[in-house]
Structure 1
Amino acid sequence: MKLKTIKPAKPIKKAIPSKIAKKSEIKQVKDKYIELYDFAPSGYFTISKVGEIIELNLSGANMLGIERSLLKNRRFDFFISKESKLGFNLFIAKIFNSKVKETCELTLTINGDIQTYVHISGIASANGEECFLTMIDISNLKNNEEKLINSRTEWIETFDLIPDMITILDVNHRIVRANKASIEKLGISPQDLTGLNCYQCIHGKQESPSFCPHSLMLKDGKEHIADFHEQKLGMDLLVSVTPIKDKNGKITGSVHIARDITERKKKENELKKLNRTLNALSKSSQEMIHAKDEVHYLNEVCKIIINNCGYAMVWVGYAENDKDKTVRPVAFSGFEEGYLDTLKISWADSERGKGPTGTAIRTAKPAMCKDMTIDPAFKPWRYDAIKRGYASSIVFPLVNDSKAFGAITIYSIEPDSFSKEEVELLSELANDLAYGIISIRSRIAQKIAEEALIRSEEKYRLLFNEMIDGFAFHEVILNNDGEPCDYRFLSVNPAFEKMTGLKTNDIIGKTVLEVLPDTEIYWIEKYGEVALSGKSIEFENYSSPLQKHFKVCSFSPQKGFFAVIFEDITIRKNTEKAILERDEKLQKYAEELKESLATKDKFYKIIAHDLKNPFISLIGASELLYGNVEKFDTGKIAKLAKILNDSAKSGYEMLLNLLEWARSQTGSLVFNPEKINIKKLTKNYSNLIEYSNNKNINLNFNIDDDLHVIADKNMLDTILRNLIGNSLKFTPKGGEIIISTKEENNSVIIFVKDTGVGIAKSDLDKLFRTDIKFSLPGTEHEEGTGLGLLLCKEFVEKHGGKIWVESEENKGCTFYFTLCN
């Protein structure tokens, strides 16, 4: 291989920098280092072994609050607070002794009184005569830690104020945390309760029951709701279980909320019982209309009461007028087992006549035995009654003309089993039964009268004059076409005169159209058909001229003639009408009550669902902060602290509104109206003003200094805070909110007007309603439940005022409400 000769290169001019250029470059580097050193965010200090400041950067001087030139050669521990001086001296000694990097946290005293938290790290120099300190201001971090502790304390206090039983469960059914209500109702201390399986301490079982909502939630990861009766606690519970998930979406437990619905269940059962009694009343009325045999009718009514109302036994007894004034059982239904044979009841004022049945017949008023085990008046029958499972009874007299001729007795297996409303319905049923018995007897008497009329003229005449039903004998009058057009009075009995008010001497020989010109053609056609066909009829109709209802039986003993036996049923018809109207009212009340309960249940479920959101945010953010507090910088920690603070405020506001609404619903909220200066009241709204400043919203209180209203101060404050807070939530940055008033007649109209996002016309009717959840996030994603507006409506109406809203989408809202001035 041939080597190529390379000629030496010629010297290049200016290839080697001059000494002046090198000095300039060194100066530039030094200046840049000094600039970086001075304006670094941390404070840098060089401290002598005796504690004097040898050197420091600008950031360090700013932290100590004195010019840098005045700090050199001053003792560093002059700026250490009294509480931290001992720790600082030990820290400095450790640096010079260990020769390795050391750290500590302490407080500085700036300008004599300002406390600053700092983190200091330091290491000794190589020669051991000085040390280098790096100082970071951690005041914000310390303040955020304190706020976090306060937020957690507020959350715990709120958690314990909720009246529902709330527990946090893990995936193994163990109780992680329980609120005050749970601890009090379970009767177990917080220390003993934590770690117990919920099915052991609540249900008293060794495994979770099949209906357990927590078990169902663990299977499908969804929220579950169940209601059941818990024997161990002696209450009915409505339980909702909401899953708790970690940041990866894995279920770690649940929020278990149990509400005591014992009273609601009791009301529902009472409503069912009333409906059954109402149904029995309706069926017994139908049976009364169609009944022909008295004993059959009595037994059917007893069966209806047993089958529809669920009582143990029912029996009917008639009062005998014998020497001992005995009560004779004539009909019964239910579990009797020879009980009636042992009764030997009397309606006399004696030992066996002072029981509920004898008392009811003797006084013609209802009587009751609330508890057969202790009622002294029931002693003669106690053993046989308890033996058959009876516990209480109620007796209604069967009355005619203000005198009891018998009684219907109803037995229940529960003590004190008959509510006021139920007693009213059963009393009405007993009245119908008495009326039915009298009606059947009247019909039988009527039939006997008809047969007697055919058998004997003499007997007919006697019956004619003495019968209680009206009787009349007529001749039908035909027109030229052979059709009935009128009829003539031939004879009438005294009862006819009494019922119609028409006298015999004034009507005999005259036609009905002469006596009663307004007689409906219906009567003439019906009677004409009987007279010409010989077919008997029975019907009920209303006579307009006499303004009465009659039940009529008509037959023809001879062609062209007809006889009429009639009964004044005006009272019965009015009673039936009243029964029908009451039935309709009770049915309407039952439906309205059922709808009201369903609406509140739906509302509670909505609130329970919304209530979990702030708790989930609190738990998630706190767990994230707790597990990473040493890794996160101050910005990340501040962000998480804001999430915790916002969630705690949201949950607290939601719970306050919920508690206020619950107090208004249960009647426990005291209404205390007084004369209030609105302008003075609104001067306490610093939190709302701070809220508006944070969102750069102009909050304008345009209210006269001397304007007063008559109102409950707390309620008015709640109304204004909710409406103003609502406007702040839905008004974007840079907007304006005006709170103003105007007087109209004897009222003051207060309105809150904003330049916010407004409400669509289709959504306006969803406001102020419990059966529809209508809540939108604010302009800064603020959350709400819509409960605040419900509270406003409740409180305004409590003052006799009204509340309404005017809005146009994207142009803002104006909420108005009225108060008395």
Structure 2
Amino acid sequence: MAHGTLAEDEPAAKHGRAPGSRGGIIRLRRPGGTVSSLQSRERAAMSRDSDTNTGRRRIDQAANLLVRTTEALLQASDELELLEQICLIGIEAGHCLSWIGYAGRPPERQVTVMARAGQAVGYLDDIAISWNNDAFGQGPTGTAIRTGQPYVVADTKTDPAFAPWRHKAELHGFRSGVALPLGEGEQKIGALMYYATQPQMFDAQVVGMLMGVARNLSHGITTLRMRARHQQVARELAESEQRYRSLVELAPDAIVVHGHGSILFANQAAIHAFGASSRAPLTGKPVLDLVHPDSRGDALERLETPPPGHILNHYRLLRLDGTPFEAEVLACSISFRGLPARLLVVRDISERTRVQETLMQTAKLATLGEMAAGLVHELSQPLNIIRLASEGAMMLIERDKATQEFQTQQFALIAEQCERTAEIIDDIRIFSRRDTTPVQVFDAALAVRSAIEVLEGQFRPDGISVDLDLPIGPLPVSGRRIQLEQVTMNLLNNAHHALRDSKDAMPADWIGKIIVRANRQGDNVEIVIADNGPGIPDSMKAHLFEPFFTTKEAGRGTGLGLSVSHGLVTAMKGGLILREGGEGATFVITLPLDLEAAGPQPLPALSPGRTPAAVSADAHILVVDDEATAAETLARYLRELGYRVSIAGTGIEAWALFSEDPADVVITDLRMPAGNGEQLVEKLRDFDPLLPIVIVTGHLGATERVAANLEDDRCAVLKKPVALGQLGDLVTVFLQPPT
């Protein structure tokens, strides 16, 4: 047999013949033509002994090759070094060429020489071998890889499949070879090849042992690759861990990991952000200790039932020294040291909050600037009535034509207009101040109504009507009332300007109209502010809520109104959108109803004309005001009630009078040239913590600050202009014995 696989060579081996031999008894003739049977038997025996010795030698070489390659596999640590070692061992076992080729990927399926050894290594230079079904893939190497079976070349000169490489084989002097597959099935690795200088050198037994070498090499390669992958994964894991550790440690945001509410890890930024140290570490502390009481309820709820995914929330947090700060907290579930935990990324947004507050304040002041002309008109109206009523009354009194009833009517009219003026000033005061009030439940309908009352007077001169539709019952929402008033006023101003500026382009019978509605929509409050103006161009709608974007002409508007309004409504967990369709522009504010709380009820108005009865004629009241006329008028009223009254023009003078003659009640202004009211109040409180004090002030900022710090059951803050009846009631209450 000239060529074939191992299966084709096995029958010859079973009959004691080398592959390709014909076998049989050879008869020799004597000179006379007869054959000597004895000589023929001797020669046949000698031939059999020689073949047996050669076969045993080849088997011994194959066995030795198997043993040595097994030892090499046990000591191998690198795949390429192992391949080269296997090839060298093959040469030392008597082969003239040993090489290993790896199977390339489809579709080319090229075989790449990975290692080679022997005197005939030049055979592999520029050789083309594949394991495709083509001429270069039908040779021993390609067939072994493709079929997964060994392929024996009994004689390179006669094997037709070896034709493409026969000439090179003759040049390098080898006559037989075997290709042994590496890997099985889909896990093909390649093939191991041995070549010999003589034909018929690879019988069934030799090939069987060489297959053991190939199988062991396949397992060795697989093991080394698994080990290499494991080492690579370990290196990548270590690098990844180091990389992420560096990222976590160098991250500018605070990163905290807690398990069941106890802090397990904190990076350097967290240590710095919360003011921790080696003496006061964060690890081990309850995470709730870092949460301000205002946010603790929400944090506790999420701690008990962590929501899935990544959750971003706004919290008020505490540093270890008790200092509060505003923060955004991104939370997600992770595994930490094999246990479930929560990862918190904390970003201090105190500075950003201050910037946003500044922007909001800028937007409010810009709105006030635009409202200035209208506010002047609103204030001039009651002041004009006051002046007309007072001068008319004085003229008739001088002429003895003013009856008692007329005088009472005129003074009541003056008091009523003062109350109207006070309401306008109070609305301006509330709107213009920085909003530091806590989040609370308020009636959204009342906030909308207050905003309209401030601006409604500006609409009438431009012929614009307001159609107001508010529910009778409250619409309780959670947030800051001032902020909702600001949003409403921004939208009303925008509608006012749009209607006023487009009046000339409208039909002659057109009348500008603003519609304001507020009602419940399921679990939400919906506030609609619409106008019948020209609307907003489509090209501008996408940019409406961007900062500094404005549709107004240069020099009018800051471009902050809608942006700030959108931010304020979003902070209240609501939404502000431009509703498509219909005429003009329609903006919709949506806020979640606070169904667990009832809306606050407005305080009943005090009658400015009611005169309280004095409790004790011996009571001493100290009036402190740098405006002498105001102080004398107030003192005259209190003396009329039967009190003993002292007057001081400064805080220093007041303290001197009080030291000599302590008062039962002190009524003081705040802003005075020498010794302000706040310093006086502090001294009075140090002297007697239960001393009744009434603070009367028109200072916008101090009113809220002092009210927050000092107002209690023994101290009251009244805003100017003050109603005498309200002041008299407070004095009466304060002179009652404390309970």
TM range, normalised to the smaller chain?
A: under 0.3
Q: Which has the higher contact order (CA 8 A, sep 6+)?
A: 2
Give the alignment's TM-score, normalised by structure 2.
0.28
Give the structure with higher Rg (CA): 2
